[in-house]
Copies of this chain bind each other. A is one copy, B any other.
Amino acid sequence: MAKNFSSREENYSQWYNDLVIKADLAENSAVRGCMVIKPYGYAIWEKMQQALDTMFKETGHVNAYFPLFIPKSFFSKEASHVEGFAKECAVVTHYRLKNDPDGKGIIVDPDAKLEEELIVRPTSETIIWDTYRNWIQSYRDLPILVNQWANVVRWEMRTRLFLRTAEFLWQEGHTAHATSDEALAEARQMLDVYTNFAENWMAVPVLKGVKSPNERFAGAIETFCIEAMMQDGKALQAGTSHFLGQNFAKAFDVKFLSKENQLDYVWATSWGVSTRLMGALVMSHSDDNGLVLPPKLAPIQVAIIPIYRKIEQLGPISEKVDVLTKELKAKGISVKFDSRDSYTPGWKFNEYEFKGVPVRVAIGPRDLENGTAEVARRDNLTKEIVPFDRLAEYITDLLDQIQSNLFERARLFRDANTRSADTWEEFIAKLDEGGFVKAHWDGTPETEQKIKDITKATIRLIPLTPDPEAGKCILTGNPSPHRVLFARAY
């Protein structure tokens, strides 16, 4: 199983790719840049969806569904949006195929050309705001708090499973409000929801902030983001929430009559996370033995493996396991009892270790005699002998411990790899050590661009509430009121 599998040290990028494929999370498909999400990977994504969807609904949102296709002209309506999104995309130009008159398979029917080309949605602001125009007349129709679970397509040239694929799955929230304050509060609220999800479900610590203008969403006034650090020290943007002001309302002429009987444009937000989070999950916790999954997102939380030589020994073990399984399931814990005789216990140990199952329980004849079982945890690979009558409680506690241990480990790693730099030389040196670098910046897009061109590092975020500290920009020496966070990023 773990054969032919690069270590993180050898080649981090290869390690990631090997792991995603060998752990049956996803694979490349016959269509360039599009992945197949395999059942094990999809089961993790379903758990993510479920947790997020519950949080969205608890904060008053409802789901809806908007068209896959967007008329080309829609993209021209919001000036900066078209620059950011309408360039590398899948364009539908025809609506029919026909038999090749030369008998060579099928060809596109030239008579079936669309009058206006359709773009496969790279994001849905335009089609949704075109729809909202008919939904909104007065303040009574607001707020609209809608989310969509959907597939989107961006024609990426260099793709990597989960991290950057032409088609990916995501959710996109699109809300409409009567006031700027309310929209801003919504954008901030959803950033908190994402933070909660990243930290308490994915066990991935994140920093909250706003993007610099260069990194802002095309069409937004302000982009809030959370940034996580991967084990190679690179940053990964784990969620964004945009305050769109009245830009899309103006582009699509969406006005409402206020309580004061004034006609005004509607205020907007949008926010999204995607299957990219699967990449973040893998790269945050996994090791050279395979996947490591936080218990809250693990499709199988506990794998139970019987150890026996003769088939007669399986019966008494199974009886014990039945009791344990019932107890665990009653606590909402997902259990897999793997009693297949076509595989050895050793093979199964490797398998569940490689697949990142948080807790493994082994029970053999000697355990039956002693009234115990062996419990192994995946996060730190330690084992313990536990009396059978304490087992369910022990495992329940252990799952919580593993969840918080993974978070704590990732947090310590991130903090240990976050450094400050005060000069250009120091900045370069610290960047090359990997991780986040806190440095002063003069606040101009030009400087940020120059820094990026030279170092490949970008401003990951400007802290939400920066510590005031007068300083000088590492590149230009111009004054800066506080530090911002730089890193090389996925």
Q: Is the CB of A98 within 8 A of B94?
A: no
B-chain residues with CB within 8 Å of residue A97 when the two chains form the complex = 72, 75, 86-87, 89, 91, 119
Nearest Cβ on chain B to A285's Cβ, whole angstroms: 23
B-chain residues with CB within 8 Å of residue A46 when the two chains form the complex = 63
Q: Is the CB of B75 within 8 A of A30?
A: no
From A35-43, A353-361, A447-455, A468-476, give the one contacting chain B.
Answer: A35-43
Q: Is the CB of B37 within 8 A of A69?
A: no
Q: Is the CB of B86 within 8 A of A90?
A: no
CA distance A140 to B340 in the complex (A): 12
Q: Which of A49-105 contact B (CB under 8 A)?
A: 62-76, 82, 86-98, 105
Q: Is the CB of B92 within 8 A of A64?
A: no
Partner of A63, one of B42, B96, B140: B42
Contact A63/B43 with A95-B90, A97-B72 known, Cβ cut-off 8 Å: yes
A144 nearest in chain B by CB position:
B39
CA distance A105 to B74 in the complex (A): 10
Contact A34/B91 with A97-B119, A151-B151 known, Cβ cut-off 8 Å: no
Interface status of A391 (Cβ within 8 A of chain B): no
Counting every copy of the chain, the complex holds 2
Nearest Cβ on chain B to A129's Cβ, whole angstroms: 11
A105 nearest in chain B by CB position:
B76
B-chain residues with CB within 8 Å of residue A62 when the two chains form the complex = 39, 42-43
A67 nearest in chain B by CB position:
B34
Contact A96/B88 with A30-B71, A67-B36, A117-B108 known, Cβ cut-off 8 Å: yes
Q: Is the CB of B67 within 8 A of A91?
A: no
B-chain residues with CB within 8 Å of residue A127 when the two chains form the complex = 29-31
Contact A95/B88 with A37-B64, A39-B64, A153-B68 known, Cβ cut-off 8 Å: yes
Contact A91/B89 with A71-B31, A127-B29, A130-B30 known, Cβ cut-off 8 Å: no
Q: Is the CB of B29 within 8 A of A75?
A: no
Contact A106/B29 with A64-B42, A89-B97 known, Cβ cut-off 8 Å: no
B-chain residues with CB within 8 Å of residue A43 when the two chains form the complex = 62-63
Nearest Cβ on chain B to A115's Cβ, whole angstroms: 10
Interface status of A314 (Cβ within 8 A of chain B): no
Nearest Cβ on chain B to A65's Cβ, whole angstroms: 4
Interface string of A323-352 (1 = CB under 8 A from B): 000000000000000000010000000000
Interface status of A266 (Cβ within 8 A of chain B): no
Interface status of A308 (Cβ within 8 A of chain B): no
Q: Which 8 A-B pairs have the closest CB atoms?
A: A34-B67, A39-B62, A37-B65, A76-B105, A91-B94, A95-B155, A31-B67, A93-B93
Q: List 18 A-B contacts (CB under 8 A).
A: A27-B131, A30-B74, A34-B69, A35-B67, A36-B65, A39-B146, A68-B153, A68-B167, A72-B97, A82-B106, A87-B96, A87-B98, A89-B96, A90-B92, A91-B94, A97-B119, A108-B117, A151-B151
